[in-house]
């Protein structure tokens, strides 16, 4: 994607749409970015009606574009609503199908997966939805592969998020895909939100209040992030936290919704992305500084997480290399012709 505001994100707002997910889309894709020196997206709201009653009648949305704006979307965010059993408007479903047919990226937040499935674009594809609707979704759309226990699913040109807060996770993931980790981190700082929660984390994470504040994993995580170049292991982390490996696994699952090894790998890949974006072109150096070991391991994990090889990631997100100054021409010495031999000295005697 070209870096600039030429990529158009359009949100379709329909009757009884959830205002929280709409706000997430506006916060991530619609705000000006003076801290970055450029805007990231060209953002539009549209609706099939001139007056759209939002969820539970809390307010009415007016003054947005009509549904024709969806015809020019590069990324189309579909409506989501709490009453998933209510059919979507045929005009909305038709707009989604046309966008998909021309290659637009489709995004569904929370119950937006129902909208995408009803439009018929999810058949044979992977998706997620809020855990409380998993059984209903499977019964209605058996041709869709539902992954009910993750935060979001990136299936290439169709992306779905599980719930309200997961809309922020997916939105930041899209920014990371489009503009790299550094820009996504800047957006997350402005949101005061976690920069990266992997999509494979569980939707529901137990967060018991610790009896002693120091029992939090935060000090261990901060230390590990500062020492990613070291050969960190789960037993080593457990020993540092004065826990058994089994207890450390349980704590990670309860507090972060992932495993220690998966967290370490995600942190290392995220650091590798930042190093490449800052101009480090020696992939062996990136692998060493992130603890990924070898350039081959870096290549495998980066492609798995971002869909790009290190070289492709560098071309897309790294700064252009500084031009090499032209060298001054080196004067070529002109040799004087050798003197002719003296016939007296060289002749036969």
pLDDT digits (tens, 9 = 90+) for 173-203: 999 999 988 888 888 888 877 655 555 444 4
**Going from the N-terminus, what domains does the chain have, and what CATH number goes with each?**
8-191 (3.40.50.880), 213-317 (1.10.10.60)
Whether residue 320 is predicted with pLDDT greater than 90 in this model: the reply is no
pLDDT digits (tens, 9 = 90+) for 250-297: 999 888 778 999 999 989 998 998 899 888 889 999 999 999 999 999
Lowest-confidence pick of 1-5, 66-70, 310-314: 1-5
What mean pLDDT do residues 231-257 have? 90
Indicate the pairing of strand 51-53 with strand 60-62.
antiparallel
pLDDT at position 194: 60
**Distinct helix (H) and strand (E) counts, the chain:** 14, 10
SS3 60: strand
pLDDT digits (tens, 9 = 90+) for 14-25: 998 999 999 999
Nearest to 98 by CA among 114, 65, 121: 121
* 3-state percent helix, strand, coil for the chain, nearest multiple of 5: 45, 10, 45
For 47, list phi and psi in degrees, rounded to 5. Answer: -150, 150
């Amino acid at each position: 994607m070209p870096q600039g505001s030429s990529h158009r994100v359009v949100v379709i707002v329909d009757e009884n749409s959830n205002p929280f997910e709409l706000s997430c889309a506006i916060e991530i894709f619609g705000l000006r970015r003076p801290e970055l020196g450029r805007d990231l997206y060209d953002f539009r709201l549209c609706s099939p009606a001139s007056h759209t009653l939002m969820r539970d009648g809390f307010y009415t949305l007016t003054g947005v574009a009509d549904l024709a704006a969806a015809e020019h979307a590069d990324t189309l965010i579909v409506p989501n609503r709490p009453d998933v059993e209510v059919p979507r408007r045929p005009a909305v479903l038709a707009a989604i199908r046309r966008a998909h047919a021309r290659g637009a990226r489709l995004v569904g937040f929370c119950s937006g997966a129902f909208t995408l499935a009803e439009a018929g674009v999810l058949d044979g594809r992977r998706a997620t939805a809020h855990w409380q609707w998993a059984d209903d979704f499977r019964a209605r759309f058996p041709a869709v592969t539902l992954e009910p226990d993750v935060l979001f699913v990136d299936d290439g040109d169709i992306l779905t998020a599980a719930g309200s807060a997961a809309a922020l996770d997916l939105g930041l993931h899209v920014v990371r895909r489009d503009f790299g980790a550094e820009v996504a981190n800047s957006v997350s700082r402005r949101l005061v939100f976690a920069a990266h929660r992997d999509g494979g984390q569980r939707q529901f994470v137990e967060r018991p209040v610790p009896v002693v504040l120091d029992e939090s994993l935060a000090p261990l995580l901060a230390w590990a992030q500062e020492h990613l170049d070291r050969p960190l292991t789960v037993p080593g982390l457990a020993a540092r936290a004065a826990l058994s490996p089994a207890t450390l696994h349980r704590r990670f699952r309860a507090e972060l919704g992932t495993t220690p090894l998966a967290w370490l790998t995600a942190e290392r890949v995220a650091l590798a992305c930042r190093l490449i974006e800052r101009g480090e072109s020696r992939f062996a150096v990136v692998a060493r500084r992130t603890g990924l070991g070898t350039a081959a391991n870096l290549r495998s994990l980066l492609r798995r997480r971002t869909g790009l090889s290190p070289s492709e990631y560098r071309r897309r997100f790294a700064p252009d290399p500084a031009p090499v100054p032209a060298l001054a021409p080196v004067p070529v010495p002109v040799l004087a012709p050798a003197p002719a031999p003296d016939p007296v000295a060289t002749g036969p005697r």
